[in-house]
Amino acid sequence: MAEIVAAYVVPHTPSFIAEVKANGESSETARFFGEIRRHLAAACPDVIVSISNDHFNTFFFDNWPTFAIGTADCTAGPSDQTPEMPWYEVKIASDLAQHLLDCLMADEFDMARSLEFQLDHAHLVPLHFLTPEMSIPIVPVFINCIVPPLPGSRRCYRLGRSVAAAVARWTGGQRVAVLASGSLSLEIGGPRAFENKTFGVPDPEWARWVLAQVRTGQTEALIEAASESRMLAAGNVAGELLNWISVLGVIDAATPDILIDQPALGNAFAAWSVRGVA
């Protein structure tokens, strides 16, 4: 039987790679990712289930799924020319991906799937910092976090619970880590961007409150508060909180081993040891 051994949520800010290249390993972003990387290395996963959203690169308005999973044998990217990111070939654990698809469909999630796709910065920025050799195969899962109507927060929590249950039923025997990414309060290219910047953090107080719930395991309060309107009031991509909530479903109310706030960017980093949670 497979087991989930760790879970993580980190930002996927596309400028991070160029920033770290310019400022070195002593930069804040490099240090924060370094803490998560050490936790991941200690967990020794065989597979990473990577949960994030697309930014109109893998999907577009002619085909924009609420939930999707990639079941190909391999993928590549970045599909969006992320600054300073090398081109990556990424192996997909297609047998586990198909198993998750089957289990999620049986659990009444109408999943879209793709057998031919590439990845943008949402999946690849975290992998670049945490597994730069791309030596660990992934299962890419997509949640619509930016195009209303968004899925409900409780639905995304249940998705995480279903992923955990599906992994527990997998007979491959792998050690599985779940890695999600996204911001808590962020406006990209909209009217609430900072002056002379392409981004803004419209609601840092909301981000602080969210992290307080995560820190203390108050998942139900967070689910109740995280309506579509409340999330989007915190920024036009602040629905990425749904990626966080899916991981809270995976870890089932466990409190984090690591929780690092990055308030100036509306971001945070978190890690959980969750062995046996499923």
For residue range 224-246, list pLDDT tens digits in order: 999 999 999 999 999 999 999 99
Does the pLDDT of residue 278 top 50, yes or no? no
Coil vs helix vs strand at 53: coil
pLDDT in tens, 155-201: 999 999 999 999 999 998 899 999 999 999 999 988 888 887 888 89
Q: Kindly indicate the confidence band of residue 275, based on its pLDDT and cuts at 50, 70 and 90.
A: low
Nearest to 53 by CA among 43, 68, 74, 38: 68
pLDDT in tens, 38-72: 999 999 999 999 999 999 888 898 889 999 999 99
How far apart are alpha carbons 200 and 164 in whole angstroms? 34
pLDDT in tens, 10-23: 999 999 999 999 99
Coil vs helix vs strand at 5: strand
pLDDT in tens, 137-156: 999 999 999 999 999 999 99
pLDDT of residue 276: 46
Distance of CA 25 to the CA centre of its chain: 23
DSSP 82: -
How far apart are alpha carbons 125 and 16 in whole angstroms? 8
Does the pLDDT of residue 103 top 60, yes or no? yes
**Over residues 88-113, mean pLDDT:** 97
Q: Please, what CATH class does the domain formed by 3-182+238-273 belong to?
A: alpha beta
Contact of 179 with 268, CB cutoff 8 Å: no
End-to-end, the C-alpha distance of the chain in Å comes to 11
Share of the chain above pLDDT 90, in %: 87
Contact of 97 with 139, CB cutoff 8 Å: yes
- Average pLDDT taken over every residue of the chain: 95
pTM listed for this prediction: 0.96
